[in-house]
Amino acid sequence: MLTVRSDSNPIIKSEDVTPTHPELEVIGVFNAGVIRYNQEIILLLRVAERPISLSDHAYISPIYDAEMNELTFLSIPSQGAPLEDARVISTKDGNFLTSISHFRVARSMDGIHFKVDELPAMSAATPYETYGIEDARITKIDDIYYIVYSAISNMGITACLASTTDFVHYTRHGLIFHPDNKDVVIFPEKINGKYYALHRPTTSQFSTPQIWIAQSSNLMEWGNHKLLLGTTKDTWEAGRIGASTVPVKVGEHWLEIYHAADADNRYCLGALLLNGEQPWIIEKKAELPIMEPMMPYELEGFFGNVVFSCGALCEDGKIKLYYGAADTTICYAEIELSLIMDLLS
């Protein structure tokens, strides 16, 4: 078996996290950024909360009011119809989310047993985040931990940058990619004097969501965009494709674990090997997924048939993956680095 899942999976569940508001319930803990900080493994969890609705006749969407600096609740008549997508309420006035997400820190010495902080690390705080913040990736550059995340609002999905030096205090730096864009990961060191990032713009009717690469001199202003990897018709990566983990230096190359979904929204993980000096060049690619949903906790959940990672550690000759299962829980798996390299062709 290529991927060895922990016998303790799921390692973090909704009941392990306290809600932030008496009118909310935690329905998912998933898609965590990961980094080793001092002796601890830090997960920056995405915590999704949903209103505890008492009505059978309306959907309730939680929305952060940036002017009032408070959480509000919008009631939308359901007309007795179930949602086509459990995540989104579609109306003639636009789309709204059924939940709102924030970030919570979890800490562990052994990488399996985590203690989750009582209070959020970061929550919605700007007009670009009124529908929540999602899917953090953490890149350490020198002594600063940079956090790229998706900010959701009625203006679209934007990629924002924050930083911390201690996972207690956080500084927001604002938008770094215009809407709609997500799945942004920053390489952990400069390459020939430039920073590089993978990102995934949402394209028009002419294409599908794909992985692009951009460069910057200051982490805030990005340009020289190039298409890195597109979808492949009638395969496990036919629907959409995006970066997952921060690239890992392997010899003279960069290893990227990415995600893709097929036409039926089944999410798997794949692997790419990028040129060390010219990271817009794909040297090798695994044709088949290195991990796909197969366990009950991956097949069934808030949004089933999904394995999705926002962070991994490369230690002890292994890729140590922390991943979201079915948009519901955090799980852990290990893959021998040598096995991944053998699959690349």
What topology does CATH give the domain 3-343? Tachylectin-2; Chain A (2.115.10)
How high is the pLDDT of residue 86?
84
Task: Summarize pLDDT for 74-105 with one digit per residue, the tens.
Answer: 999 887 667 888 899 988 888 999 999 999 99
Separation between Cα atoms, residue 5 and residue 291, nearest integer Å: 10
pTM of the predicted model, to two decimals? 0.96
Proportion of the chain above pLDDT 70, given as a percent: 99
Angle made by CA atoms 15, 19, 24, in degrees to the nearest 5: 110
CB-count exposure of residue 187 (10 Å: 0-12, 13-18, 19+) = buried
Supply the mean pLDDT for the chain.
95
Looking at residue 1, its pLDDT comes to 61
* Of the candidates 156, 120, 163, the residue with the CA atom closest to the CA atom of residue 140: 163
Pick the closest to residue 233 from 263, 258, 253, 259 (CA basis).
263
Per-residue confidence (pLDDT) for residue 205, from 0 to 100:
78
pLDDT of residue 54: 66
- Which range among 113-127, 153-167, 197-211, 302-316 shows the weakest confidence by mean pLDDT? 197-211
What pLDDT was estimated at residue 71?
A: 96
pLDDT at 206: 83
- pLDDT tens digits, 236-274: 999 999 999 999 999 999 999 999 999 999 999 999 999
> What pLDDT, on a 0 to 100 scale, did the predictor assign at position 2?
84
- 162-218 per-position pLDDT tens digit: 999 999 999 999 999 999 999 999 999 999 999 999 999 987 778 899 999 999 999
